[in-house]
Amino acid sequence: MRKRRVRFISAIIILMIMVLLTRLMQLQLFYTENYSKHHVNLLNESVKQRTQEVLIDDGRGHFLDNEGYPLSYDEKTILVLFPFLKSINWDREQVANILNTTKEKLELSLSNAKKPLIYGEISPIQAKQITKMNIPGLYAIQKKYPPESNIANQLIGLIGENREEFWKRYPEKKGLDTKLGISGLQNSFDEFLIEEHPSKLIFHVDGIGAPLFGIDVKYSGQSNPYYPLMVKTTISNPFQKGIEALVDKYEIKKGGALLLDIETGNILASVSRPILNRENPFLDDGAVNMMFEQHIPGSVFKTVVTAAAVEEGLIENNEEFNCSLNIRGEPAERDLGMLALNESFSRSCNKTFGELAVRVQQEENSFLEKYAEKLGIIGYTGWEGDIFHIKNFRQFAHEAGRIFTSDESRKDQNYIMQTGIGQHEVRVSPLSVANMMATIARGGEKKEIRVATDIQYANGGALFHFPEQNVKGDHISTSTAIKLQSLLRSVVTDEEGTGHIFQKLPFKVAGKSGTAETGVERDGVQLHNKWFAGYFPFEQPKYALVVVNLEVPNDQGGINPLFADIVTMIYEENHKQQQGRPEE
């Protein structure tokens, strides 16, 4: 009986030892980089426990402006002091002199340090002098930081930590604990930008923080000179900064501005408000790019109605419309009298375009949508194509826009009239409206919009170039485009036109205004979306510009002064650049 008990207890002990050995083998041999359902990298975690480190660069790729200068980061020269400096001899007096401080202040800042201390930014000359002293634990390094200017925040987007999403996107990288793009271009280009080899200064310590292998600080980082990759965007730094400043000058709380290069289809500037709060990015739509979101456009949409009516021959020469009435046949707020198409367009008569929209839809109930697509105001408008193994890569996420949501709306006369003035179910983005203006300015030719021209290696070499691409499919005729150009110009030249204040600008402007009822109330006041979209110079179109102020009272938030100031800023910036060019 006693022998059986001994055997039983021995078997239990052996089983427990086997379980412990199996567990130990899991930890040490089999699942060191992917342990448990949480996919913990045990090697990384163990290293963290016995090292002090300074992150120089997380290894993630970045974005550049159209001149190749950093857009998504600033690089600064900083001084790093490791805690073991407290216990070794070094020339504190000379270092203090180089830093323009006192030995006492330098020692005070170091006295309570338990981890590597970033003393602060220093000049290149100071960095060179300190490096020459060759003091262990004292390092002048180049470190990347988020940019202080914070321009084009919503366009560039955000990165964040989300293990499950990261491993879902990149199952072959399970076990890595890294950030990924969650919005904007950071999300679109994430596969090219994800960090692989962060650059660090590493110092090994024991359990109480004392040096483990002496005072040797090691560098760990990217050994491949081609990485990380960089995305060269189409953003013009001067234009972006100038428009950001003007949008804030006019206190745009929700809305912004978007500038396109007409010839190339490049986005030169994209400004969105509310301002992004990096501490709480999803507060109050701060992370949302309003230039890519759909909004009610109001009278800007009359451009589409006009294109359809003109091209389909649904309006007679010298035909006039009763612009003293609104679309319901009641007296209008503005008694404009009988107006032909030109004056109806320049003065934004609702009655004219409500009637024309009905004619267009009666001809074929898909015509308004077809012409909206021909003008590039709905549908995906961005660059799309194959990049290596990635099929149908899109440079940015963008909603398609819409005109109607049901067959009932396409056939109901009241709904159609509201649609004709850009109300009811019409939703388009400022980006697509800018695209429409650029399409008209080109004579009907449609181009895919680019926000990036190249993916580059870290040394500046080209990995992939995004070529200019025309949009396949139907487009408006050249004659219709010329007619629309004339009408858009009349908005400015007509003394009673909604854009007449632009007559004295340094560039000749063509465009269309819009004021849309949103159905939203604040403190009992109805709110409106206010737009102006246009292009310039009129004779040789170069820029398409859209400005929008969303959800403001009808008697506030006028957008025309902002549009005018942006045009003037662009003119002055071009003049500066021309003056700065060397003589040929």
Q: What angle do CA 217, 221, 227 make, to 5 degrees?
A: 160
Closest by Cα among 109, 82, 112 to 96? 109
Residues identified as active-site: 299
* Inter-residue contact 249 to 283 (CB < 8 Å): no
Q: Are 143 and 53 in contact (CB under 8 A)?
A: no
Four-point Cα dihedral 416, 511, 448, 152, nearest 10 = -110
Residue 272's DSSP bridge partners are 256
The Cα 577–Cα 560 span in angstroms is: 26
182 phi and psi angles, rounded to 5 deg: -115, -10
C-alpha–C-alpha distance, residues 78 and 242, integer Å: 30
Please list, residue by residue across 541-561, b when 16 or more beta carbons sit within 10 angstroms of its beta carbon and e when fewer do. Answer: bbbbbbbbbbbbeeeebbbbe
- In angstroms, the CA 448 to CA 382 distance is 5
The 3-class SS string of 405-454 reads CCHHHHHCHHHHHHHHCCCCCCEECHHHHHHHHHHHHCCCCCECEECEEE
Tell me which residue has tokens 């089983």.
15
DSSP secondary structure letters along 14-51: HHHHHHHHHHHHIIIIISTTSBTTTTB-HHHHHHHHTE
Amino acid symbol at 15? L
Checking DSSP bridges between strand 180-181 and strand 159-160, what pairing results, if any?
antiparallel
DSSP conformation letters of 152-188:
THHHH--EE--HHHHHHH-GGGTT----EE-SHHHHH
